[in-house]
A and B are shown apart, each in its own frame.
Chain A
């Protein structure tokens, strides 16, 4: 059954890839006759998945901090969620920089062509730093119990920081290079229905992929933890 679900996920994301290139028309207003807009179907779901991962880390940390729900596996699950979330966040940042190079930087080989000080570029970098600091914090505390509590409190704080950085801060700015129909101060999403549905399908596929990766990473962390305790 689980294997069947895995193959369904393979098919789902495979169809998103094919549809992203073949079914959805190029969007007007993007360079290359609108073809550069196709990166949306990967860039946006990756950013979304990193947000889901950071929220999940906060929830598992809250479970670890709760007196009745405290289990070592919740702390390990939170750490695994942050690790995978950082990978997705980094991929979203890099794919965004690549897109910025094509779209706003005129494909010039200069650093300024990749980095435009756009509010969304700044906020995702802040999220990267915040959660990289979580891992740095974990690495500096030797005692597992103390590490779990401190890192847990930090990740629970992230339940407020992540929504602010992903959704509030970019909309507070009066100017953004990001496409207006995707991100605007009113929070409206105005885009072609085929683009919107494919973005939602991609985000769903990537979210399921995250939970699969997370399941494996946490189970491996539990095994490793058990080996350390026994050693």
Chain B
């Protein structure tokens, strides 16, 4: 593998890793938000429960 190909591969891996980390961060935030919404609905009463 020449130097240019190695650099190209490294850049690709770096891009994929950053994308994956951003997605995982967003996903974990959404999971946390999901739990928070459930708790808020539970404290507000049964009328706001469930999908609209």
Given contacts A6-B31, A222-B52, A223-B44, A33 and B8 within 8 Å (CB-CB): yes
- Contact size range, B: 20 to 34
Q: What is the distance, in angstroms, from B38's C-beta to the closest C-beta of chain A?
A: 9
- Cβ of A160 under 8 Å from chain B: no
Tell me which of A3, A17, A215, A223 contacts B40 (CB under 8 A).
Answer: A223
- Chain B residues near A14: list those with CB within 8 A: 20, 23-24
- Contact size range, A: 20 to 34
Please name the residue on chain B nearest to A11 by beta carbon. Answer: B27
Write out, one digit per residue, whether chain A residues 75-101 have a CB within 8 A of any chain B CB (1) or not (0).
011000000000000000000000000
Q: Are B16 and A22 in contact (CB under 8 A)?
A: yes
- Chain A residues near B15: list those with CB within 8 A: 21, 38
Query: CA–CA, A222 to B41, complex, Å?
Result: 10
Write out, one digit per residue, whether chain B residues 15-52 have a CB within 8 A of any chain A CB (1) or not (0).
11001100110010011011001001100100110011
Write out, one digit per residue, whether chain A residues 203-227 have a CB within 8 A of any chain B CB (1) or not (0).
0000000001101101110110010
5 A/B residue pairs, CB under 8 Å, sorted by A: A10-B24, A21-B12, A22-B12, A220-B40, A226-B44
Partner-B contacts on A (CB < 8 A)? 2-3, 6, 9-10, 13-14, 17-18, 20-22, 33, 35, 38, 42, 73-74, 76-77, 212-213, 215-216, 218-220, 222-223, 226
Partner-A contacts on B (CB < 8 A)? 8, 12-13, 15-16, 19-20, 23-24, 27, 30-31, 33-34, 37, 40-41, 44, 47-48, 51-52
